[in-house]
């Protein structure tokens, strides 16, 4: 199935985890893709995994928390692709701590990268998306936006903001033909959750040593054995950003294996 044969896509966080899986899925379906990430090493890994499809892939080092970097990176992506049909905002970080011990700098860093960074990329991409074909934006919220994930107040706030912003943008740009949706991954194994994601500048959940693990009893997936692979989310993202999602906008899809019924 080559749903992306005529689509031009930009994926942030494309150097690891779900972002990387989404890049590879779009390439496998015939797309031309720009993978953006803060990690050159992560982007090199994505290119290596792209194999024969690497000629349809461009990688761009971009820090979504830096306005100048976003302006340069998005402009470069659009120039390479000759336009833009799909944008996936997968880049983000996760930090955990007791709220009373959380510094203002740490709280602002999470919000700056996750929420403000998503806004910056969307803003710079909008002119090209308005000219795109069945243009679609898929943002990354989280199950933490609606369900309690203890010790993650900043992360939850940033993801809740993304979810609300997605609804507002869907209404604002409906007449321009741009669809906005978000996904809520939960119980997914990735660089963000296991601490290996340099490209997401994450050190893993990093729970406090005295964390009450009883508070996490409701965070186990009902389906399968433990956390699912990033491909589980990438398939849904690819659907939403393709013509198959043509009648879906202003909503979110939870992908958590039944963690939150």
Q: Among 155, 173, 180, 227, which one carries the catalytic annotation?
A: 155
Q: Which two tokens stand for residue 53?
A: 């499809």
Active site residue 151: no
DSSP secondary structure letters along the chain = --TTTT-EEEEETTTSHHHHHHHHHHHHTT-EEEEEES-HHHHHHHHHHHGGGGGGEEEEE--TT-HHHHHHHHHHHHHHHTS-SEEEE---------GGG--HHHHHHHHIIIIIHHHHHHHHHHHHHHTSSS-EEEEE--GGGTS--TT-HHHHHHHHHHHHHHHHHHHHTGGGT-EEEEEEE-SB-SHHHHS--GGGT-------TT--GGGGGGGS-SSSSSPBPTHHHHHHHHHHTSGGGTT--SEEEEESTTS--
Closest among 16, 123, 111, 131 to 65, alpha carbons compared: 111
What amino acid positions are annotated as catalytic residues? 155
């Amino acid at each position: 199935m080559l749903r992306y044969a005529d689509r031009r896509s930009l994926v942030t966080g494309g150097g690891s985890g779900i972002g990387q899986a989404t890049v590879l899925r779009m390439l496998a379906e015939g797309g031309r893709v720009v993978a953006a990430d803060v990690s050159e090493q992560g982007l090199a890994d994505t290119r290596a995994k792209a194999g024969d499809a690497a000629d349809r892939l461009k990688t761009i080092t971009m820090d979504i928390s830096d306005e100048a970097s976003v302006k340069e990176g998005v402009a470069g992506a659009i120039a390479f692709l000759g336009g833009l049909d799909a944008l996936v905002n997968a880049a983000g970080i996760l930090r955990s701590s007791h709220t009373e011990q959380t510094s203002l700098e740490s709280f602002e860093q999470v919000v700056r990268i996750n929420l403000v960074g998503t806004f910056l990329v969307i803003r710079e991409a909008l002119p090209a998306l308005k000219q795109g074909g069945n243009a679609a934006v898929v943002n990354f919220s989280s199950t933490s936006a609606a369900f309690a994930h203890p010790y993650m107040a900043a992360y939850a706030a940033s993801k809740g903001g993304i979810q609300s912003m997605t609804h507002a943008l869907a209404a604002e740009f409906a007449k321009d033909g741009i669809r906005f949706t978000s996904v809520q991954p939960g119980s997914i194994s990735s660089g963000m959750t296991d601490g290996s994601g340099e490209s997401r500048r994450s050190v893993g959940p990093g729970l406090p040593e005295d964390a009450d693990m009883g508070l996490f009893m409701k965070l186990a997936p009902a389906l399968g054995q433990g956390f699912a692979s990033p491909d589980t989310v990438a398939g849904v993202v690819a659907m939403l950003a393709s013509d198959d999602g043509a009648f879906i906008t202003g909503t979110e899809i939870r992908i958590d294996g039944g963690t939150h019924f």
